[in-house]
Structure 1
């Protein structure tokens, strides 16, 4: 092998002019679409992919291009990859860039490396057919074309699809391929078809190894080459416990509240728990109420969060949860691609289950940064985050890094010194390009250059009469697709404005298009409504580096143990702090220097939870609540004066870490506000919905633990909401 591995992306059969503006490339497909497809090209791709993917997973961890080593770039075992053995720039850190402006772009060559390593093994599978010749494999050219057109798929967790339980109902799902240990695929003659092991089901260490197996030590005992994955340590109320990742042989997904370290040695794949986390929290409603509540959601919408992220206007805001100087602006979104990414990690990995009798805890790999990339679901999830960024780039082609923004001060990684001022031309270590230099954000900016794109982003399909790119027409077509698939805020606005108010006769469900056809009235151009969100800032390392979730409720918050709120009808959603590994892990003498630095620097992140849809459902269905004090039990209308008064008595929040409650006195940095803004939704689907002019309704939060007031600067001066007199 060469001194470095050149990451080029899959370029076979493509235009060699990789920077051509309208370059045609192949698509990364949605995993269920690809896995369930009966098209010959996809059947052939699966025939090559699944045997190759299993081979990839079972390669020796000592090999540079093994599943183990590529996944290990993200975090543990905290050693160099494709670089000379060296101590990391920031001790106790992997290469991954979290809470950094480089978050979006660093993962792009990382995904290309993963995709390319699998593709090289798929070529070997193809050669088994090629060696038999055209006589035994008459469709050999079609099989080769299937190989060249394959790209690693993505999981669109924000798209509602037909459910396995009922194909007539659409909801959030976990990919079908995660439920089966074997898949049936085509094989070379004379076998023709066979069941093969499915590496998507879980990652299993080769040769019966554990993640901390002694065989992973370097032969010359050099600690800079030690591939062992160590246990992670944490503590609650001064009591220490460990996550025994070194002792397991496979990856696990989502704890259940009944898990033990012994049951997780060979992996626990609780995919159904992930489904419940993705979907609206179960509604504890009385018999007969289900029919009423079917017309809306009592919780925040994942589709809505995805859609609104595509409407952010600046790269520095979509790229990272980290806040910058002067973030208190009218236009600040409080949300980001990294923010929605964090929630998915937590929902896939689940909360920690701590057994104090053994001082051990189990938690799905996806919930812990240092081991997250070992779970194969990580790669499908991150492809969708890459797709979200690529969608945003089509809509905002001019927005890019701003060299002097505070977000560019990097918190430090294995390859980046702490406080480095990140720029678009910086090396994205450890990823080498074909020249032997490192990839940069500038080089990874355009997906077609990298050899792939996503459905709906094909620039070559949108040209003007002179053959040049028609970006305006492309954006309009993309808006139609986004509005149809993800804009639940638009549907909620139609329900709010075009259906009967409580106690009135009239339609229960109506749309702008249906109303125009039915009433034969003049077209409705737009619906403008008041919009309600929770905006918050928090210190990423407020708990010394431990991850935590901020849960939000409309209505009474019951006391319960364990503190997992997914089955409560009053929870409207959560914001997840997907932190790096906890402080004082014990993996280095000093613990995690990066965590310590961000702790001392009071590094801030931001988040957002959208309330409008949940409030509209409560109002339309006149849902009864148990308020604090003598506040209203039922939301009277969607007007700000009624919503603010209602939420003052019914909006609550709780923080949990490792499945245990966190007292808000230990998190003085947490500042939560209710934002009252505007939303415009257009009858013309080629137009993007507009969310704007949020003002802080501090009457709801001021003076409460974790609540923001005007003195905390979440909004510009003068942007306070006041109840009309």
Structure 2
């Protein structure tokens, strides 16, 4: 098996190459927008890329299809692993190769887009051509940092979802901005259903009928469905705090210093300390952007949505940051249960496993996890990973770790503030006063509002359900906005004051003297996390587990954006039953299902608990208050791909539990996660899919 067609080398270095060994940076999308010429070229290039004939492997359609549909070999790489027949797929989801495989995938996309942009820059008139060519020479694809607080409150970039049109300067527009369709908003299939031999390009309805990619489709069935972009913005704002904290945990908790724990969501035993992963957070972003049956929510179609590339560029960046912090932990030696198009199930995935279909500069050898280890191999880096700017490895690692704390430190930065010393009092719990009609669900004792789809869920412990949480007037459009400034009004932190010196204080001597400064003191706080374990293909389709804290409306269409939503665990399952109308042609998915592959994920709760404390719903952050509050107010529900609710008892193997871990805040140092996790079975036990009830 060989492929000689498309060597992948990434975008080239500038010529002449800088003496310091530096390479161009991939920038955050909002930062790239500040470079008007590169931004203009990026939009023009992406638009031109999408117009290449879909039958070409080097078209936008062809490259996106590597990730799933249309289930055709790419670049001359024909698989010889015919276990169970059908397409085995190249993509390495639920695999330790998740991060390494996507790196050359992005490099291929960047290489092709870079070439297109060079051609466009050369077409500008004489008086501006050199300017655009200079901008084009260092172009790299941007990323969307969905885990860092945006200055402009656009938790989803306005450039990608704010408008269906955008103004650009073209080589023939005489320097004047002219409108065109926004290439970051959607992708139009032209034609919708091209001939692909034996492969069904876009699969089942409605994907074979929707002419463009959609986010939060206004209908999951109608060919006339459109995107509801406001829900993307709301969903990202609603779930932002938990996503940010997930990244903070992955970068700082000692349990994630090993690549197999950090990289992917494959279940690795019953340890409560490694349920998180980069792949799990990545899944949540897919569904938060796509919504019910939007293209981003289904891996077969997700790469066609242009935001996929912004998202995965950030996933690669976070992987690179983790590599910089953990330079000796890049160990890949793991048995794969499932295999893929060219890897047999049961074989061992190592640093030399071929990352098919991606061929290196030789035209005959595949890239491997070892050969793609450094981003500089493909002539790019990220703002945080400029190794050439530091004189020592230790200085570089410390700088990267500091950047992580600055970007994703979130809560811990505020717990360290001196103003927190005075916040030791317990706040009374404020009861809600709005009565509702109630109907008891006999299966689990939970209370449901009886007015159809507008019902409220509670655990049945409170006599009167609380009102739907409402954001403060100064909080923008979501209660987590400005959380950093407002956290001091809510938190109750643990402090460890030094022991007082012996001897009595001479009060007369002290009269008239200014009060001495309060010395900084080490502290700690408790991080609360929901752990979720689920079989990947048990329902024969994508499904989601929504985690709520406090009461929530029962209309499933609102579950992605409700204030009570803490986060969503996404499971990208497929129908693998032979002969089924929706049977997947993905052989990897079939072997996944046959192996009963289990995946895990986490939803951090601490930020939402603080919000509940501030509202008076929870007395304080002391465990004596938090644990009973979680038992009474933590909820989880399951929805299918189209948003239909699925009874939790009909998802065998789904387990939801709550754990906690301590985070120390040494004076003048970065937070330190203890790495020790305590399981709190009483919070979820006895409820559908709760710990101990459905293992």
1:345 equivalent to 2:304? Answer no
The residue number in structure 2 matching 1:381 is 311
Instruction: Choose from 184, 189, 212 the match for 1:205.
Output: 189
Q: Distance in 1 between matches of 2:687 and 2:303?
A: 38
The residue number in structure 1 matching 2:479 is none
Task: Tell me: CA distance 1:87–1:586, structure 2 relative to 1, closer, same or farther (3 Å).
Answer: farther
Q: 1:212-611 residue pairs with structure 2 within 5 A? A: 212-213=193-194, 216-218=195-197, 223=198, 226=199, 228-232=200-204, 243-256=205-218, 258=219, 260-264=221-225, 268-280=226-238, 300-311=241-252, 312-324=256-268, 327-329=269-271, 332-351=273-292, 363-403=293-333, 405=334, 408-436=335-363, 437-463=365-391, 470-491=392-413, 493-494=415-416, 498-499=422-423, 501-502=425-426, 508=489, 521-544=517-540, 546-556=541-551, 558=553, 560-562=554-556, 564-580=558-574, 583=577, 592-611=586-605
Q: Distance in 2 between matches of 1:337 and 1:620?
A: 30
Task: Tell me: CA distance 1:636–1:54, structure 2 relative to 1, closer, same or farther (3 Å).
Answer: closer
1:650 equivalent to 2:644? Answer no
Task: Tell me: CA distance 1:246–1:520, structure 2 relative to 1, closer, same or farther (3 Å).
Answer: farther
How far the C-alpha of 1:366 sits from its partner, in A, is 0.6
> Any conservation in 2 of the 1:26–1:150 contact (CA below 8 Å)?
yes
Task: Tell me: CA distance 1:415–1:581, structure 2 relative to 1, closer, same or farther (3 Å).
Answer: farther
Task: Tell me: CA distance 1:708–1:522, structure 2 relative to 1, closer, same or farther (3 Å).
Answer: same
Q: Distance in 2 between matches of 1:665 and 1:710?
A: 10
Deviations 1:705-725 (A, max 9, x none): 21224996xxxxxxxxxxxxx
The residue number in structure 2 matching 1:290 is none
- SS of 2:639's equivalent in the other structure is strand
The alignment's TM-score, normalised by the length of structure 1, stands at: 0.77
> Any conservation in 2 of the 1:575–1:608 contact (CA below 8 Å)?
yes
Alignment length, in residue pairs?
606
Deviations 1:440-483 (A, max 9, x none): 111111111221011121001111xxxxxx22222222233222
- SS of 2:54's equivalent in the other structure is coil
Deviations 1:573-622 (A, max 9, x none): 22121335665586898855433332232211111111122223322431
Task: Tell me: CA distance 1:99–1:503, structure 2 relative to 1, closer, same or farther (3 Å).
Answer: closer
- SS of 1:309's equivalent in the other structure is helix
The residue number in structure 2 matching 1:722 is none
- SS of 2:653's equivalent in the other structure is coil
> Any conservation in 1 of the 2:122–2:133 contact (CA below 8 Å)?
no
> Any conservation in 2 of the 1:23–1:448 contact (CA below 8 Å)?
no
Q: Distance in 2 between matches of 1:229 and 1:434?
A: 30
Task: Tell me: CA distance 1:525–1:474, structure 2 relative to 1, closer, same or farther (3 Å).
Answer: farther
How far the C-alpha of 1:3 sits from its partner, in A, is 3.8
Task: Tell me: CA distance 1:46–1:677, structure 2 relative to 1, closer, same or farther (3 Å).
Answer: closer
Alignment RMSD: 3.2
The residue number in structure 2 matching 1:61 is 54
Q: 1:658-673 residue pairs with structure 2 within 5 A? A: 658=641, 659-673=643-657
The residue number in structure 1 matching 2:607 is 613
How far the C-alpha of 1:249 sits from its partner, in A, is 2.0
- SS of 1:394's equivalent in the other structure is helix
Deviations 1:681-724 (A, max 9, x none): 34436x24425311111122233321224996xxxxxxxxxxxx
Q: Distance in 1 between matches of 2:172 and 2:667?
A: 56
Q: Distance in 2 between matches of 1:592 and 1:531?
A: 39
Q: Distance in 1 between matches of 2:356 and 2:317?
A: 22
Q: Which moved more, 1:700-709 or 1:372-381?
A: 700-709
Task: Tell me: CA distance 1:301–1:84, structure 2 relative to 1, closer, same or farther (3 Å).
Answer: closer
How far the C-alpha of 1:154 sits from its partner, in A, is 0.6
- SS of 2:105's equivalent in the other structure is helix
How far the C-alpha of 1:73 sits from its partner, in A, is 0.6
How far the C-alpha of 1:648 sits from its partner, in A, is 2.3
Task: Tell me: CA distance 1:192–1:681, structure 2 relative to 1, closer, same or farther (3 Å).
Answer: same
The residue number in structure 1 matching 2:145 is 156
Deviations 1:342-393 (A, max 9, x none): 0011111101xxxxxxxxxxx2111111111111111111001001101111
> Any conservation in 2 of the 1:348–1:367 contact (CA below 8 Å)?
yes
> Any conservation in 1 of the 2:489–2:614 contact (CA below 8 Å)?
no
Deviations 1:137-163 (A, max 9, x none): 3771x4333222110001111222233
Q: Distance in 1 between matches of 2:279 and 2:70?
A: 23
The residue number in structure 1 matching 2:673 is 690
> Any conservation in 2 of the 1:498–1:510 contact (CA below 8 Å)?
no
How far the C-alpha of 1:401 sits from its partner, in A, is 2.5
> Any conservation in 2 of the 1:674–1:700 contact (CA below 8 Å)?
yes
- SS of 1:422's equivalent in the other structure is strand
Q: Distance in 1 between matches of 2:51 and 2:215?
A: 20
Is there any run of 5+ residues in structure 2 with no aligned partner, and where?
429-486, 498-513
Task: Tell me: CA distance 1:174–1:581, structure 2 relative to 1, closer, same or farther (3 Å).
Answer: farther
Q: Distance in 2 between matches of 1:711 and 1:413?
A: 30
How far the C-alpha of 1:530 sits from its partner, in A, is 2.2
The residue number in structure 1 matching 2:662 is 678
Q: Distance in 2 between matches of 1:503 and 1:112?
A: 53
> Any conservation in 2 of the 1:370–1:581 contact (CA below 8 Å)?
no
The alignment's TM-score, normalised by the length of structure 2, stands at: 0.80
- SS of 1:537's equivalent in the other structure is strand
How far the C-alpha of 1:80 sits from its partner, in A, is 0.6
Q: Which moved more, 1:60-69 or 1:244-253?
A: 244-253
The residue number in structure 2 matching 1:719 is none
